[in-house]
Amino acid sequence: MPDFLPSNSPTDSRSEPRPDSRPAVGRRTLLGAAAAATAAPVVLGSASRAAAAPAPRKKPRALPGGGDLGPNVLVFDPSTPGIQARLDEVFRQQESAQFGTGRYALLFKPGTYSGLNAQLGFYTSIAGLGLSPDDTTINGDVTVDAGWFNGNATQNFWRSAENLALVPANGTNRWAVAQAAPFRRMHVRGGLNLAPSGYGWASGGYIADSRIDGQVGPYSQQQWYTRDSAIGSWLNGVWNMVFSGVEGAPAQSFPNPPYTTLASTPVSREKPFLYLQGSEYRVFLPEKRTNARGVTWGNGTPRGTSLPLTQFYVARPGVSAATLNQALEQGLHLLLTPGIYHLSEPLRINRANTVVLGLGYATLIPDGGVTAVKVADVDGVRLAGFLVDAGPVNSPTLLEIGPRGASRDHSANPTTVQDVFIRIGGAGPGKATTSMVVNSRHTIIDHTWVWRADHGDGVGWETNRADYGVVVNGDDVLATGLFVEHFNKYDVQWFGQRGRTIFFQNEKAYDAPNQAAIQNGSTKGYAAYRVGDAVTSHEGWGLGSYCYYNVDPTIVQHHGFAAPVRPDVRFHNLLVVSLGGQGQYECVINDTGSPTSGTSTVPSTVVSYP
């Protein structure tokens, strides 16, 4: 058996598991190619203890930092017996559990491991525990394939790999994923194949801060975003391949081949990660970079700071929102261990530089229509590595970065939202008017998938109603890797000034019952990505929107993108696609761009706008 972390703290009660849902057959099946802690507030009693005066209220007992990571964090070292058997056991459980309740983090202590093939199923994260990927080497593979879904990789969601060096057994590692499956801080000493066995359908994906010594082969991948990495070469492209700050990236050539290439990323700050310093767990916080290019870890110790685990409240499933908020008020950060967390009130992050880090796709479910997470207008908050799953009672918002009207300058120390995913429906009925609202200036949204489910349980035009995906009100917000899909109205609305998006992937809602259901005044349909009429400066690179109106294939969507016509509102390399002729676009952006037509699933593109 593997080397489990010792249990030295009580285990919280856990939610009852629900049966796994079987995969649905939908569009993705049918179409191919196609840090000192601050003290807790003190409640003061009366200065004079008169006989009739009430006794002073007691402060809650201080919560401890650090402790046990729980039973679903599996920690291995090179001497652990039976590693492959344990990896296989987790994979058998998670391979097809698309809407199940299992959550796992597989962590490897620094050292060298040989002969392993870690196959990753749903809600499974694998990571090394070194300060550099090269501290933890697997002579073998970390594999995502699609045998569970008949060779179709378009539903390989919610899994991740991080902070490992791989020496693939046959020279090339297979990572056939779709949305919400980041490949971060990885060193592949060989090639990387992004397609499933047999080169079936695929619809990903995201790489950051990684070095692939050999060739990256996307093959059937419809779109992909790679940021601040180094690659030996890149093989091909289908619709939308975007690179920023990538050494070895192909030259700009959109639309043929469909490469959008930026020499650098304007601002980036890598995701926090857990690592071992001797026998002590710490969380490393990479520093912000401007005009970033290449990996952060290639030359000596990475730049940044770290926090001991004792400064984190190590949360376990079943803990209450009140306890999590007490920990935050006490000055602790949050480490969410794998599992399901029901929230009766929002998590309130009011302190600058607070870290909320999830392991193994820890999942927050707001109950009673509350917002899951609210962040104050403060510097340097880092949200990373968790899933927000809407509850059955409509939430006005699920994630709020800054209150309405936030206006403070955070350029020196922005808030980052990284590998934070939002889901409405699929695992059961869920509703939210708006999924994510960003009010704070200079926020960096670095890889998110905000998804109104098109398959699973609790899915229907009104059943999992969700009008808006992401709304950006704050100025100077940057999105790198923005995936937003299937909302009843606008998927993205951007009202802040000087916003920038590098890579956007979208599908309009499949299940619109008819043309009238999506009519937007005199306009046919709601744009996937809308820039507000008052915005005077905005820029986007490598943005794509697809339609698949399979309930009523006669539906016409006027355009994928809408924006005011101003010289400083600029777009580069846009595309719209009708998937198999199930609905059509008349234009790409505003009234510009050729219509899609027929059943050919060929993109209509605009290279530069205006």
292 Cβ partners below 8 Å, 6+ apart? 228, 245, 264, 265, 267, 268
Does residue 578 contact residue 585 with C-beta atoms inside 8 Å? yes
Backbone phi, psi, residue 93, to 5°: -70, -35
466-497 burial, b if ≥16 CB within 10 A, otherwise e?
bebbbbbbbbbbbbbbbbbbbbbbbbbbbbbb
Residue listed under structure tokens 């606008």: 490
Cα maximum dimension of the chain? 86
30 Cβ partners below 8 Å, 6+ apart? 580
Does residue 179 contact residue 481 with C-beta atoms inside 8 Å? no
How, if at all, do strands 159-162 and 183-184 pair? parallel
Residue 444: which of 384, 492, 403 has the closest Cα?
Answer: 384
Annotation marks residue 270 as catalytic:
no
Question: Which residue type is seen at 62?
Answer: A
Residue listed under structure tokens 């803990």: 319
User: Per the structure block, which two tokens stand in for 419?
Assistant: 């590998």
Does residue 6 contact residue 78 with C-beta atoms inside 8 Å? no
| DSSP state string for 31-44 | -S---PPPPPPP--
72 Cβ partners below 8 Å, 6+ apart? 102, 103, 104, 105, 337, 338, 339, 360
How, if at all, do strands 280-286 and 304-308 pair? antiparallel
Q: Measure the CA–CA gap between 26 and 95, rounded to whole angstroms.
A: 19
Q: Measure the CA–CA gap between 182 and 347, rounded to whole angstroms.
A: 25
Residue 174: which of 579, 158, 151 has the closest Cα?
Answer: 151
Secondary structure of 514-540 as H, E, C letters? CHHHHCECCECCCCCEEECCCCCCEEE
159 Cβ partners below 8 Å, 6+ apart? 120, 121, 122, 123, 124, 125, 144, 177, 180, 181, 361
| DSSP state string for 420-441 | EEEEESBBS---EEEEEEE-ST
Cis ω for the linkage preceding 255 (within 30 of 0):
yes
Q: What length does the chain have? A: 610
Determine which one of 270, 400, 485, 507 is catalytic. 507
Question: Can you say whether the dihedral through the CA atoms of 385, 103, 217, 32 is positive or negative?
Answer: negative
Residue listed under structure tokens 């027929």: 598
Q: Which residues are catalytic?
A: 507
